[in-house]
Structure 1
Amino acid sequence: MNILLIEDSASQREILQGFLSKKGIKIVTAQNGQEGLRKYEENEIDLVISDFKMPLKNGLEVLREIKQLNPFAAVIIITAFSDVNDAVQVIKAGAADYILKPVDLEELYSKITQIGNQLKINKESEEVFYELPDKEISENFIGKSANIKEILSIVRRVAFHPVTVLISGESGTGKEMIADLIHEFSPRRNKKLVKVNCAALSGNLLESELFGHVKGSFTGAFKDRKGRFEEADGGTLFLDEIGEISPQIQVKLLRVLQNMTFEPVGSSSSVQVDVRIIAATNKKLEDELLKGTFREDLFYRLNVVPISMPPLRERKEDIPLLIEHFLKEYNPE
């Protein structure tokens, strides 16, 4: 793995470079953001680790410019965040993760290892991606309008990357079908796609459904039960109607998105999972942010790749195709 380390502190740069070099990682270093951007373009870089506060260009500016060069670039930001708004800005801009100062070297290496494992999966999938004809995806979703073509193009590109996807749109626009397609054409296709309707369960029941529980943790908990996150380990978890979850569940879900660990209800032991999350909502979550009913930091963790599903009234040219499809399905003769 090739890592670009952008750090203006010489002592911190030497510590990180020495530690990671001993782990067998090739390190390219830069003393500031401008030099870092130049070296990113000059070298084949798998992962960027950048300090937040630097002269010339800060870590956020570097992150945004790298994302313009490569939307799927993996970037970890190192900083001493003063409040949640700084973290939100970094995640909103597309950082893969962040780590607080003073840097825990083993925690940093763990994050690097997770990203490296996913990069390996992505590279193994590239041949399949380029050989996959557009026709194969389009046959799974009915529609030839410009809106649908653009959405299927996003699905094709995002399927092979482990980023979180947020699908929005009115009821009946095909949000679940898009989630199915992303999983079907992803490297996780041979693992489970687990679906949860967040609106169908109350707060306590949803917490148990998602994270599981241990025996005796509440009335009726007669035995240990794995939650949907564990069930989806290695695969994909589809969280429908994500806008309906309670503040308590939002906090717990945010932690899972940050480090893929959680505690089952009634347990003090952490569970580690590897899950790709796709969420869907028929609400405008931006409005919920203004109302204070949905966490801003969670929203940006979910909204890494947004897909907006248009209602049929905005793609009327697809109506004949749908009529033909349903006539064949319900009247095969």
Structure 2
Amino acid sequence: MTTLDPHPHPHPNALPPEMLERIGRDIADSYDEELELELDDRDLDPDTLLPPHARSDEEKEARRMYFRELFRLQAELVKLQDWVVHTGHKVVILFEGRDAAGKGGAIKRIVQRLNPRVCRVAALPAPNDRERTQWYFQRYVPHLPAAGEIVLFDRSWYNRAGVERVMGFCTDEQYEEFFQTVPEFERMLVRSGIQLIKYWFSISDEEQNARFLSRIHDPLKQWKLSPMDLESRRRWEEYTKAKEIMLERTHIPEAKWWIVQGVDKKRARLNCIHHLLDQIPYEEVDRPSIALPEREYHEDYVRRPVPPEIIVPEIY
């Protein structure tokens, strides 16, 4: 006969109340992120879209400040975009950091209101068999900007200094060759007229753990967790050592590293965008006035009816 343990051990996946509360806040924040995509009027108060009991007064004020500053900075990014096109400037921005550090969220806010033909994101997958036999930097070169373009790399050639080193995807010789080559490669880019800006998003051990748990418990974000992400969690200290070596050996005057404190995701986004705007000497460009032409009408024009079988049903 078995007896019940009067002090049962908690399930290994059980979460303490404070972590459940944290996950709830993260999910609410993710809804805010989607709301940002819908808010085009910078005078609209996002709080009006939530029930009054949803947040404390302090949280509401912080939220108002965040949206107000986000929209203001995004308006400046549009001015920056116009100046880049007008002057033929070329910009490359690298976003590096640990998994779940907030790189993707910052990139999304930067490109959200910009012209994708001017500002584009390069997020390269793992190299294929052919690419592994090429010069290491070769597959990144086609994504570099032409005049009047901005390219944001969501992870970059610094994969070799991070994940490839820690996970054993490169040899010691390839690793050392990378550090010999990358300063010259980046100086060459700068000499060619490309402005190169490098950001490292920094988060704490505890914050990454909390974000991973949030992703595990949010069905809409579970896809963000790959087996490589989970393994990187186990090897936190190895990634820390690799990051320190990378920053020490690749922080050069022509292409400095900038550290974004990323524990608070929303503050990190604002700080990164504000800093980015400060790095580029843009000015507001006068736009020509636009007049909508009169629509032409022709007596012999008859609009053909649309066959009903090809119309999408109006469920909503």
How high is the TM-score relative to the length of structure 2? Answer: 0.32
More strand, by proportion: 1
Superposition TM-score, scaled by structure 1 size = 0.30
Kindly indicate whether structure 1 or structure 2 has the higher relative contact order, using CA contacts under 8 Å at least 6 residues apart: 2
